[in-house]
Structures are given as C-alpha cells and as structure tokens.
Amino acid sequence: MAVAESTLTEREIPREVLPEEIRNRFFPAEVEDISGQSVWACMQCGTCSGSCQFAQEMDHTPRRIMEMVRTGLREQVLASRAIWYCASCYSCTVRCPRGIQVTRVMMALKSLALRAGHVNPRDDAPAFYESFLRVLRLFGRVHEPTLVAAYALRTRPTRVLGMMPMALGLVRRGRMAPLPDRAPGLAEVRRLMEAVEKVRGSESAGAREVALRSAGCPQAVRAARREEVALR
C-alpha cells in the first residue's frame, strides 16, 4: 500500500492549505523517522489492540492509530486521547507478528503531539512528562519531590494536598530525599541535550525532503523548502 498520488498541482492548492497537505503527506515518514519503525509493515491484524491493557480507555485502538498514521490523518492522531493512554508496557511490541515496536511508534506520536501543541488540556500525562524533563535538566537526575511539585504547579496546585499523606509516609519510612541529588556530570548532560537539538535540527530538513519526494509530491518539496528558508 502506497501513499495516494496527489492529483493537485501547486497552482490549484490555496496557499493556506498547502502546509497542512504537506504535513499530512509527510506524516507516515515523519513517524517512521522518529520511531525507527515501519508503519507500512503493519497488516492490521489487531494483535496490538487485543494485547493492550489500556485499549478500553482509548478513543482509537492502537491498530486504528497505525492505520490513521498511514492515511496521513495527522491532526486526528496527534489530538487523540489514545496516544496518552499508552503506558509503554510493551505488550503490543512483544506480540506484534510483523515485528513492529508499536510502543516506539506511540512514543514518536506523543513527541510530535507535544511539538505541534495538539495536546488535550484535560490530560495530565503530557504535563507530567514535561515536568520530568524539566527536573532532569535542572539536576541531571530526577528528584521526586521537585518533580511532584513542578507537576502540581502546572496542573492543579491543590494536588499537593492530596499527595501529603503519601509524602509523609515516605518521609516516615526514610524513603524521601529532602534535597536533590545533582548528577556530577550535570554540565555535560546539558551539553548533551543541546547536541540532541542540533542533530535533530540538521536532520529533519533532509528527512522531510526525502519523504516528500518519495510521496510523489514535488510541489510540496518546493513548498517545504520555501517554508524552511522562511523559518531561518
């Protein structure tokens, strides 16, 4: 199954529509690039959905998400609640008869949803993951009380009250570190984070162009280049 050939020419596509059309066509390749997994290998058997402990909470099952990615339904996938109900338990991954690491596909989708700002504000998981990353940048290691505080401030500050019994329980049992534990190589960890940004930046432009070309979309390649230049 291949991406449908575009019948539109550049002249026929209204300017404001073009970027979305590009992004939709680019979507499967974008997901493959980040996840390292071939979404085209999926045969839609539904083993992933049947293995998922969280499928009952999802608006689209994992099998459906895979097909929506291939169809280029970028907005619907990235705005779905399904991706945030993946707990990364890897049940789908070990059972997939096509060897697709569906968990890595889900991770790629979550990261794209965050970048695209598509996140459902009623879901607290994105805020938790982002708070985790923020604490990591601060100390190089994760300090649980700081993480919980950062997360509560971003979501519901009153959450802290509900967490007090648990926190006190940990303190009483000597299981709470009052002060953060700084990684000795913190400066290096921060440099590593910057290096990741650079590697990603330099690769996304190239990957995008290759993907668009293979999707048989020369007008989109040109538009993407224009967009790329405009962003500089």
Partner 1 sequence: MSRLRYAFYPGCTAHASARDYTRSTYATFRALGIELEEVPGWSCCGSTAVSNVDPLLGMALCARNLALAESTGLDLAVTCNACYANLAPTLEAYREERRVRDRLQRVLDAVDRHLEGEVEVRHGVHILTRDLGLDRVEEGVRRPLDGVKAVPYYGCLLSRPRNPYDDPENPTSLDELLATLGVEVLPFERKTKCCGGSFMNTKEEVALRLTFEILEEARERGAHLIVCACPLCQLNLDAYRAKLRARYGTYHDTPVLYFTQVVGLALGLDRRDLAIGQSFVPADRVLGLR
Contact footprint for partner 1 (CB under 8 A): 34-36, 53-54, 57, 85, 87-91, 93-94, 101, 103-104, 107-108, 110-111, 114, 123-125, 127-130, 132-133, 136, 140-144, 148, 151, 165-166, 169-170, 173-177, 181, 183-186, 188-189, 191-196, 198-200, 203
Contact 131, 154 (CB under 8 A): yes
Provide the minimum distance between the beta carbon of 35 and partner 1 in the complex, in angstroms, as a whole number. Answer: 7
Q: Read off φ and ψ for residue 45, nearest 5 degrees.
A: -80, -25
Nearer to partner 1, 117 or 165 (CB): 165
Nearer to partner 1, 113 or 223 (CB): 113
Report DSSP state, residue 56.
G
Q: Read off φ and ψ for residue 11, nearest 5 degrees.
A: -65, -30
What count of Cα atoms within 13 Å lies in the side-chain half-sphere of residue 67? 10
Question: Which ranges constitute the DSSP H helices of 36-82?
Answer: 47-51, 62-71, 74-78
Nearer to partner 1, 43 or 187 (CB): 187
Nearer to partner 1, 14 or 121 (CB): 121
Provide the minimum distance between the beta carbon of 9 and partner 1 in the complex, in angstroms, as a whole number. Answer: 33
Neighbours of 227 (CB within 10 A): 14
What distance in Å separates the CA atoms of residue 151 and residue 133, rounded to the nearest whole number? Answer: 11
Provide the minimum distance between the beta carbon of 213 and partner 1 in the complex, in angstroms, as a whole number. Answer: 18
Provide the minimum distance between the beta carbon of 179 and partner 1 in the complex, in angstroms, as a whole number. Answer: 10
Nearer to partner 1, 11 or 173 (CB): 173
Length in residues, the chain = 232
What distance in Å separates the CA atoms of residue 164 and residue 212, rounded to the nearest whole number? Answer: 52
Provide the minimum distance between the beta carbon of 109 and partner 1 in the complex, in angstroms, as a whole number. Answer: 9
